[in-house]
Structure 1
Amino acid sequence: MRVLGIETSCDETGIAIYDDKVGLLANQLYSQVKLHADYGGVVPELASRDHVRKTVPLIQAALKEAHLTAKDIDAVAYTAGPGLVGALLVGATIGQALAFAWQVPAIPVHHMEAHLLAPMLEKTPPPLPFVALLVSGGHTQLVKVTAIGKYQLLGESVDDAAGEAFDKTAKLLGLDYPGGLMLSQLAQKGRANRFIFPRPMTDRPGLDFSFSGLKTFAANTIKNNDDDNQTRADIAYAFEDAVVDTLAIKCKRALIQTGFSRLVIAGGVSANQPLRLKLTKMMQKQCGEIFYARPEFCTDNGAMIAYTGLIRLKTNKNNDLCVTVRPRLPLSALT
């Protein structure tokens, strides 16, 4: 059984084909980073227009890469939300149109569920149950996963998500888009202990996150210190260290609360190396296991959509030809 996956939730066009017996057959990805760089962030209308230009050619390229034709595809999966509404509509419309033309099911996929399941694409997938830390651009969530499709939200960001805080602090430091990646690269040149940033909401019980105050603390630190390269690197290091430490503290609490010994990290920020190192050391101390996807499957991609679509297809979780997308779509909406 082969599923074509279409990802167009934000600024990357991802197309992939997944076979339930062979695995990933094709994976095509186009990034709009250069398109949005001059604006310092994603411009929704430009993103939508670029998805219109790129989606069909990438589908053709994926079929060619897999040495398949339309007759070999058993279903079409597409991201239905959350994301930018215009960008989502491009993928949903094309996905539904292809499904109708090819007479196969069309399967709407939850973007965050796809991130959560991305580590399943690896040779050693995480066994169930586990705690998942989802850290993408606009989301920071801790989820209790007892089975595929059975998710309990344990905690989430009440204001800025970790990825948003990275990007906003990068702007304060004068870094180019994409800011989060640039900040992490700058932090590698920073010195430990020159600046100590707070670990927000770790001095009280609970599993929610808040990174808005950390961004403000960074802004005040930048304002009150010299604007030289080493100082900027030291601030970047302190900020990243605070975010990583905060995420680790909350993950440890979630594992204790659930009694689970497995941790999955997914989403774009899960590619952050200091975060991976911190959580790996933490799980080793607790004699637990940690799982994450390779870097190319951490950011938005079609492979995770195709895989999740296959899972949904096998459980008959597909819809009719109605094109429905939701810019805000909680995991609790899944049935």
Structure 2
Amino acid sequence: MASIAAEALALLRRGDGASAMALVETACAQADGEALAMRALWQVEGRLMPRDLSAARADLNAATQAGNVGAARMLGGFLATGTGGARDWAGALALLDAWVDRDILATRQRTLIAAMAIDAAGDPLHIPTPHSLHETPPIHAFPGLLSAPECDLLTDLSDHRLRPALIFHEGQGRFVADPIRDSDAAGFPIVSEWPAIHAINRRLAAASGTQVEQGEVLQILRYRPGQQYRAHLDAVPGLANQRSLTLLVYLNDEYDGGETRFRRLDITYRGRKGDGLLFANCLADGRPNPLTEHAGMPVRSGTKRVASRWIRQRPSETPDGFGQHEASA
């Protein structure tokens, strides 16, 4: 017998949104965990109903009480980040504790968080001392910014979600292949910024001297032999809330090539597993700084993995941060 979610998705594929919604609403009234989780996703996306993060959080709570593991994972992230309601880091940890015997991801997150040097709010107690690679524009390397198990978690959680890197084409109104980057990419958006991911994001914010809300979705990039990120600027001309900083974390060592190259500054850097690289993208007036043009050089052998966080000048004015939230089942 098909699940509620499978039936609803089949109806959506046939263009029958009204029947899909009626099916899910009926099941929600019966406290069906799968239906409640699906309605929560629709409320995050604004699909078939108005976008409502607080209602989504309530549905995730009800679905979690009904025993839905996917809802429990999303709810942990909502509690950790303060999405759809007050931020509750202690509640997020308690939820992980309640699921450690039923969900391997909860177990892995809880173990990882227990090893982090963080305070009661999830903020890091210390940051590795950076060393300067360049003064103006500033480029700093952070040795050991993430631990090896943290790098492995990001790699493992992203592997099954990696897709060819895309950009949004304003003229065509759709996502298209990125002409300068031929890597694969996966992100941790609003529905998957789980507690361990959020704790990592808070450490990246502390390392960059910014608020966690200034960061775009954490992305994981994978480069196979021959793949590269051609020379580019991370700042976007005319962007009202500019990408003022970029923070990269190298997630593995088992590859040749793939260095980060600032051609105009004659700087080439390759971090070890867990090392971070922070650089400023803008001039004092907010315009892109041409000296920050950089490239991810072609990988010669092996597979390179890197985490990337673009950091804006100020927090987003929307409750779910920057960019596409990519909420999907």
Same fold (TM over 0.5): no
Q: State the TM-score, normalized to the length of structure 1.
A: 0.28
Task: Choose between structure 1 and 2 for higher RCO, CA contacts under 8 A separated by at least 6 residues.
Answer: 1
Q: State the TM-score, normalized to the length of structure 2.
A: 0.28
